[in-house]
Amino acid sequence: MTAPLDLRLLPDTAVVHDSDIAVGGVSLRELAERFGTPLFVYDETTLRSRAREAAAGFDPGVAFASKSFFCGAMAALAVEEGLCVDVSTAGELDVALRAGVRGESIIMHGNNKSASELRQALDVGVRRIIVDSFDEIGRLVHLVSAERPARCMVRVTPGVEAHTHEFVRTGHEDTKFGFSLASGDAQRALNELREIPHISVEGVHCHIGSQIFALDSYREAVRLLAEFLRSNSVSELCIGGGLGVAYVAEEKAPTIGEWASAVRDALAEHGVSELQLTAEPGRSIVARAGLTIYEVGTRKVAAHRTYLAVDGGMSDNPRPVLYGSGYEAVALRAPRAERTTAYRLVGKHCESGDFLIDEAWLPGDVHPGDLIATPVTGAYGYSMASNYNRVPRPAVVFVRDGAARLVLRRETLDDLSRLEV
Ligand code: LLP
């Protein structure tokens, strides 16, 4: 048996009642009724305050990592809160541009940018292109001109084994991202870029991985980079994203402010505090702001456990399957109740691996028709959602001050067949 849900896993404005939870002043049960389930709900207050914390912790030019969750409304919110937007494909760039984000607020990423992606980025005058390979430099040479100059950063791989899941580690030597510091490629890339007319190198970028709790991993990256930054008179360091968030009650993550201070302190300790320090957080801004509401459709008592099947699954949250990520669940009918029974919370997809929570503690009487919320699903859920088994993607609503606005409508079966020719 476990205690009721730890309220620290809910968005900032959450208020727990006897038989409902309100977020942004709006009842989650009413939202489910109005918009259907599964439903992603984001608390704008939490989004905005995390975005502000990021803007305040670092120097100007902090970017929101759009891969964590993106749509026009999120792009607009990030910019309103003083952030740039980091995009890594033509698709993310397109969302940003359609939302009215100006080139000056866009950072272009990607480990395999095509010539057309680079051309478009230059055409719209992106603030920075984060250069990731020698092939990319080769492509850029042919694209830049006096009318279309490129402002770049070199992505450097410092050789840090960040303390996180191996699939989301990027700062170590054996990675597809960036230029290795140890091999000398980072130096060669910087030298090459500095020689090319119409390209200006405005700094160094370093992203060591994602869902990192140990600030020491960042301190170590700074230690390894310090000499490179100093000897090349680098004027700006972007430390990437990657700050971890707590998904379950036992976890504890540093705040964005603590993360920024740790990096600044490390820069000072290694004698490179003069440069501008920026970052590009994703998860730490959106994860806890969002939650998902599902409806239980089936309760099955099987030999080894009781299964609760909901109307979504690995298509709206593939993280448990991909990374073994843990989540918690709460029954909206009784959010304060002791959670006496461990269920396996599964989806509606045709595989045994389709689970959302391996051991979801909930009250013993959960039955079909009950609404279940899984908190902290704001990052890498919707953005990695698929149409597996031709399941339409859920709708997304933003809530604030007692009002809900639909920012992404639910996919329809017509949407799913729009590619048929
Ligand atoms: N900057 C770069 C260059 C990145 O590759 C990423 C994430 C970020 C910033 C933002 O990192 P964040 O602050 O969100 O940790 N799908 C995985 C996470 C993949 C992260 C990819 N890159 C997951 O669900 O855990």
Q: State the pLDDT at residue 332.
A: 98
Which residue among 268, 285, 302 closes a domain? 285
The residues facing 310 across adjacent strands are 296
* 236 and 335 belong to one structural domain: no
Tens-place pLDDT, residues 157-198 = 999 877 777 777 777 778 899 999 999 999 999 999 999 999
Assigned domain for 307 exists: yes
Q: Which of 71, 84, 206, 350 is catalytic?
A: 350
Same domain, residue pair 30 and 85: no
User: Would you say residue 293 lies in a domain?
Assistant: yes
How much distance in Å is there from the Cα of 169 to the middle of ligand 1? Answer: 9
Residue 210 CA: nearest ligand 1 atom is 15
Which domain-ending residue is among 267, 285, 303? 285
Instruction: Looking at 89-181, list the stretches that DSSP marks H as alpha helix, in order from N- to C-terminal side.
Output: 90-98, 115-123, 134-143
Q: How far apart are the first and last CA of the chain?
A: 53
- Do residue 260 and residue 312 come from a single domain? no
Same domain, yes or no, for 326 and 370? yes
Question: Residue 54 is inside which H or E element, if any?
Answer: helix 44-57
Q: Is residue 2 situated within a structural domain?
A: no
Q: Is 87 helix (H, G, I), strand (E, B) or coil?
A: strand
17: CATH: 2.40.37.10
Q: Reply yes or no: is the peptide bond before residue 38 cis, omega within 30 of 0.
A: yes
SS3 138: helix
Q: Is the dihedral of CA 175, 68, 207, 319 positive or negative?
A: negative
Confidence (pTM): 0.97
Chain position carrying tokens 């709006």: 26
In-domain check, residue 298:
yes
> In the prediction, which pLDDT does 322 show?
95
Statement to judge: residues 265 and 391 lie in one domain: no
Residue nearest to atom 24 of ligand 1 (CA): 380
Based on the fold, state whether residues 342 and 237 are members of the same structural domain.
no
CB atoms inside a 10 Å sphere around CB 1: 9
| 191 contact partners, CB below 8 Å, separation of at least 6 | none
In a domain, residue 367? The reply is yes
- Asked if 13 and 68 sit in the same domain, the reply is no
- Containing domain of residue 320, as a range? 7-43+287-417
- 242 with 122, same domain? yes
Ligand 1 centroid–CA 294 distance in Å is: 26
Residue 71 annotated to the active site: no
Instruction: Flag whether 1 is in a domain.
Output: no
Residue 177 maps to a domain: yes
Q: Which atom of ligand 1 is nearest to the CA of 211?
A: 15
Tens-digit pLDDT profile for the chain (421 aa)? 789 999 999 999 999 999 999 999 999 999 999 999 999 999 999 999 999 999 999 999 999 999 999 999 999 999 999 999 999 999 999 999 999 999 999 999 999 999 999 999 999 999 999 999 999 999 999 999 999 999 999 999 999 877 777 777 777 778 899 999 999 999 999 999 999 999 999 999 999 999 999 999 999 999 999 999 999 999 999 999 999 999 999 999 999 999 999 999 999 999 998 999 999 999 999 999 999 999 999 999 999 999 999 999 999 999 999 999 999 999 999 999 999 999 999 999 999 999 999 999 999 999 999 999 999 999 999 999 999 999 999 999 999 999 999 999 999 999 999 999 9
Are residues 140 and 219 both part of a single domain? yes
Q: What separation in Å is there between the alpha carbon of 154 and the centre of ligand 1?
A: 18
Of 255, 285, 315, which marks where a domain is finished? 285
Read off the amino acid at residue 132. D
Residues 351 and 278 in one domain: no
| Count of domains for the chain | 2
Q: Amino acid letter at 329?
A: A
The CATH number for 60's domain is: 3.20.20.10
Is there a single domain that holds both residue 371 and residue 402? yes
Distance CA 239, CA 245 (A): 17
Same domain assignment for residues 386 and 396: yes
- Is 169 a member of any domain? yes
